[in-house]
Each structure stands twice: as C-alpha cells, then as structure tokens.
Amino acid sequence: MKRIGLIASATWRASRHQRVFALTLIAALLLVAGTLWLRPFNFGSSELKFVADLGLGILSLGGAFLAVGVTVQVFFDATENRTLHLVLTHGVRRGEFILGQLGGVVLLLGAFTLPVLALLWSLLWVRETALLADAAGLLDGERMLRPGGVLVAGMALWLKACVLAAAVLWLCTFAGSRLFALGTGFLLFVVFHAHPMLVLPGESAGAVATVLGWLLRLLPDFTAFDAAAAFYGDGRDPVRMTGYAIVYVAAFSWLAARQLHQREL
Amino acid sequence: MNAGGPGALGLETVTKDYAVGLRGVRLRALDRVSLSLDSGEICVLLGPNGSGKSTLLKIAAGLLVPTAGRCLVHGEPAGGREAMRRIGYMPESPVFPGGFTAGECVRHYAALGGAGGAAGVAQADAALAAVGLAEWSGREARTLSKGLTQRLALALALVHDPQVLLLDEPTAGVDPRATADMLELLVRLRAAGKTVVVALHQLDQAAELAGRVVLLQSGRMKFAGAWAQFLGPVAAATGSVQSLLAGLRGRYLELLDAAEGEGGAR
C-alpha cells in the first residue's frame, strides 16, 4: 500500500508539471466563465439551466480529455523513459505500479474538477442572486441551486473520468503506440456514453451476435454518471454511483496488471 | 567461468525468444547462455547492437522471464522479492520526470525499496555521495547533463545497497572525463565486494575494467573468459595499447584543465 501511495504521489507530481493539465484547466475555467457571455444563445432554456448545462459539459469533456491524455502520457513516459524498469527493480509489483499510476491520475482529475466546479457554482450563485433580486416579490425567493446537488454532479463527472482513465490505462498496457492509445481512448469515451444504444440481439440472432451483444453490455454505462440529473437533484444515489465506478475501476486495473505482466519490457 | 554453479549471479542455459509483429514471429534474443559470477567480480558484456546484452541484463534484473533455462541471484530466482533486494539495475539512457530534484529522485527510490524517513534520507545521501552527486542533489534531475544523469541512474541502482549491479551502457553518450569517473567508480564498487555486470560497446573501456568478458552475437555466447584470454595473441601489445589509451585520456584531461586555467585567468 505504501508503494502504491509513493507511485501515486510521484505520478501526480509529474503529471501536474505537464502543460496539458495546466492548459486544460485554464481553458475549462475560461470557457466556464465565458458561459455568462453566451447566455443570449440559450435556445429558450432558462438562463441558469443554460449556464449549468454548458458548464457541466465543459467539465465532462475536459475531464475526459485529461483522463485519456494524461493517462497515456504518464504510462508511455514511464515505459519509454525506463522509469518502469527502475520502479520494478526496486521491488514494486506490476499491479502496484498500475494502481499507483491510476491513483496519481485520479488525484489530478480531482484537482481539475474541484476548481472548475467551484467556479461554475460561484457564477450560478451570483446570477441566481441577481435574478432573485430582480424578481423580488414575484418569486418565493427559493433557490434552485442546492449545494448537495452541485457536489454530487461534480462527483459524478470525476467518477466518470476515473473509470475512463482506468480503461485507458488497460489499453496502454497492450497498445503499441501513444497514438493508438489516444485514439482508442477517446473512442471508448463515446462508446461508454452510447451504452443504452447497445441493445441485446433478438432470439433469431446467431450465437456470435448474442455473445458479442452480452460482451458489449458488460462495458460501463456512462449515463449512470448523469451530472445534469444530479445537479437538479433528481435523487441520484452517490453511494451507488461510487460503487458502480469502483467495480469498473477495479476490473480495468486487474486487466491492466495482468496485461503488464505479459508485456515484454 | 563455471556454467550454472551457485554464485552471485548464475544463468543456466538461458534462452529468450521475443514474439515480433502481429503474427508473433519468434525472434531469438538469447540462445542457451550460461554464466556464473562470484562476488567481487566485474563482467563486461560485449557485442554488436542486438546481440542480446540488454536482454541478458533484463533477465538477471527480473524484468524479463526466460523462455527456457533459469537465472539465479545469490541462489534466489531472478524476479523474486529476495533477488530484487540483491540487485541494482541501471537501464540504458533513462530520462527522469520533470519537477524532481536529483535528491528527491534518490529518496523516492529508497522509499520504494522500503527505506523511508531518516533511514531513506541517509541511504539516499550515501548513494549520492558514492557517485559524486552530493553537490547536485538540489538540482532538477531533468536538467542534469548526460554524464550526471548517468551518475544519478547509478545512484538509484545503488541506493538500497545491492550486492549485484547490472548496468546497461552506463557510459553511452558520456564525455571522456565522465567516462573515466564512471569506470573508476565501477572499479571501486568491485573493490567493495559488489558483483558488477556491465554492457559496453567501447573496447578501451572494457580494457580499463579488465574483468571477465562475455562476447555475444545474435544471442549466442561467442566467448566467455578472463580479459587476458580475450586478448589472446594480441596480449603482447596490450601494454602499449593500454598506455596509449591512458596517455590519450591524460592528454585530453590535461588540455581541458589547462583551458579551464586559462579561462579562469582571463
């Protein structure tokens, strides 16, 4: 456990120094702040809903970009720069290395999600306060924004990015190049979102189609991490969501550790 | 060189095949290599690129599993916890991540090896001092010169005080002065009782170490024996060759020192 913590802390520290993190964080903060100027293009939605949806979308895409980009970068840096060789010859097991790297990326994803979510919440709170003041006497003064909902929404997006990072780490263990891992990583993000469309084949389908259908259903369903629903307090259970994420993170980590065992270094 | 007997490092008819390409075509990197080294020995691995030197070192370090045969480190199977504790491995041309000083790097690896806190700091300081990097410990590792980077990699291999050192081209891309320092350090480590296995390309460097020689080609061991045996009929000329090489290095360093002196005087 100590070795996992040490690798996680080194991964977190090394990835924090990469430009991709700083640039993604700055871009996300600017885009979220910029939603205030995009309010006129709300397509008929209420102002707060428009800003919230746009902000959560930016958070989701930024998180996915980091989950794929940083995971690929830290893994291939470790193998190409021979850090992995050094780590393994200091008594670290391959499974510990995988969990440590994932731990570092998970911390980084948290460091991205928290400030962006805080900015989004602050903007919404300021606008809601202004709107309530403008409509004084017309509305009952009850706020739409609930801190619990905002936190669960942020947690949902963070968990989603963590599952994606674990899947990408598994990809990296058998990928021959960074480009393959990056491309396939982003494809996974799309496929996991399209999970509800992966319908089971009917009775007339052949054995291969049936097996394939069931295998596809084993993939994580990213609609389980519906941040917008959580944001508006539709009763998403954070404990259930966390459990769902942990199952997939554990499964992908196990697969990654197994694959790394077979990889010729 | 005794094949397969117990010692600091023993390889018993080790064969390693790599699966290459999508079809998994077998490429033999090592072919029935046997080797036995005792404590306090230096073994120089020589051979052209792709001859299997790095593969042999990786198998001894437990990073690769042999296709056939076995490798033992002080009687323990390579790759096991006990064997890992006894080996120090220096990969070829490592690159260190940004944001870490040389001292932090060494302390990190000391902690990974199980020495945390004050013990880890003491081990890291000792390793840095052993390779002459103590004064550079506060410098960011990524900004170190090639020679200092190689020394840092050696410090990482040494930090847990292993008995067997496996070094993959420690002098690659390093200037003559840093090379001389590195070779001198290896000789000191041997004198301290360490078993040193080092892959090299330069014959003059092998001559300076003058340990056992293993010559590999296409994964096969073409020669294994003492330096004097390796020289064979050219042994008679060795004195003059070695003195020429030593003289060249001395002249090079002398000129450098003179230039430094003049530079300082200006």
Cross-chain residue pair A13–B99, CB shorter than 8 Å = yes
Nearest CB neighbour to B112, from listed A3, A14, A80: A3
Find how far residue B50's CA is from the centre of its chain. Answer: 17
Cross-chain residue pair A82–B64, CB shorter than 8 Å = no
Number of structural domains (chain A) is: 1
Checking DSSP bridges between strand B42-46 and strand B212-217, what pairing results, if any? parallel
- What the block records as the tokens of A250 is 């554990």
Rounded Cα–Cα distance for residues A196 and A198 (Å): 5
- Top pLDDT among A196 and B248 is at A196
Indicate if the pLDDT at residue A102 is higher than 70. yes
Indicate if the pLDDT at residue A203 is higher than 70. no
Rounded to the nearest integer, the mean pLDDT of chain A is: 86
- Top pLDDT among A180 and B231 is at A180
pLDDT band for B195, please (50, 70, 90 cuts). Answer: very high
Indicate if the pLDDT at residue A92 is higher than 80. yes
Asked if A123 contacts A32 with a C-beta cutoff of 8 angstroms, the reply is yes
The domain in which residue B131 lies consists of: 39-63+75-235
Checking DSSP bridges between strand B195-199 and strand B164-168, what pairing results, if any? parallel
In a domain, B23, yes or no: no
Asked if B85 contacts B160 with a C-beta cutoff of 8 angstroms, the reply is yes
- What the block records as the tokens of A148 is 């619990």
Rounded to the nearest integer, the mean pLDDT of chain B is: 84
In a domain, B52, yes or no: yes
Name the residue among A96, A55, A231, A64 with its Cα closest to residue A162: A64
Rounded Cα–Cα distance for residues B218 and B86 (Å): 29
Assess B189–A contact: CB distance below 8 Å, yes or no: no
Contacts (Cβ under 8 Å, ≥6 apart) of A234: none
Task: Map residue B140 onto helix, strand or coil.
Answer: strand
Rounded Cα–Cα distance for residues A173 and A253 (Å): 10
Name the residue among A48, A32, A233, A38 with its Cα closest to residue A130: A48
Neighbour tally for A223: CB within 10 Å: 13
For chain B, what's the residue count?
A: 266
In a domain, B22, yes or no: no
Across A109-123, A184-198, B130-144, B235-249, the highest mean pLDDT is recorded for: A109-123
Q: What is the pTM of this model?
A: 0.85
Rounded Cα–Cα distance for residues B227 and B222 (Å): 14
pLDDT in tens, B53-97: 999 999 999 999 999 999 999 999 998 888 988 999 999 888 887
For residue A133, the model assigns a pLDDT of 77
In a domain, B213, yes or no: yes
Cross-chain residue pair B95–A85, CB shorter than 8 Å = no
In a domain, B7, yes or no: no
Indicate the residue type of B169.
E
The domain in which residue A194 lies consists of: 2-262
| Percent of chain B's residues with pLDDT above 90 | 32
pLDDT band for B19, please (50, 70, 90 cuts). Answer: confident
For residue B266, the model assigns a pLDDT of 40
In a domain, B53, yes or no: yes
Indicate if the pLDDT at residue B2 is higher than 60. no
Indicate the residue type of B148.
L
Asked if B105 contacts B144 with a C-beta cutoff of 8 angstroms, the reply is no
Interface test with A, best of B58, B100, B112 (most A CBs within 10 A): B112
Number of structural domains (chain B) is: 1
- Top pLDDT among A147 and A255 is at A255
Find how far residue A100's CA is from the centre of its chain. Answer: 17
Rounded Cα–Cα distance for residues B72 and B79 (Å): 9
Nearest CB neighbour to B108, from listed A10, A80, A81: A10
Cross-chain residue pair A85–B93, CB shorter than 8 Å = no
Cross-chain residue pair A86–B108, CB shorter than 8 Å = no
Contacts of A91 in chain B (CB under 8 A): 81, 84-85, 112-114
pLDDT in tens, A25-68: 999 999 988 887 877 766 656 777 788 888 899 999 999 999 99
CATH number at residue B169: 3.40.50.300
- What the block records as the tokens of B109 is 């690896």
**DSSP conformation letters of B90-125:** E-SS--PPTT-BHHHHHHHHHHHTT--HHHHHHHHH
Name the residue among A192, A161, A135 with its Cα closest to residue A71: A161
Distance to chain A for B196, nearest Cα, Å: 16
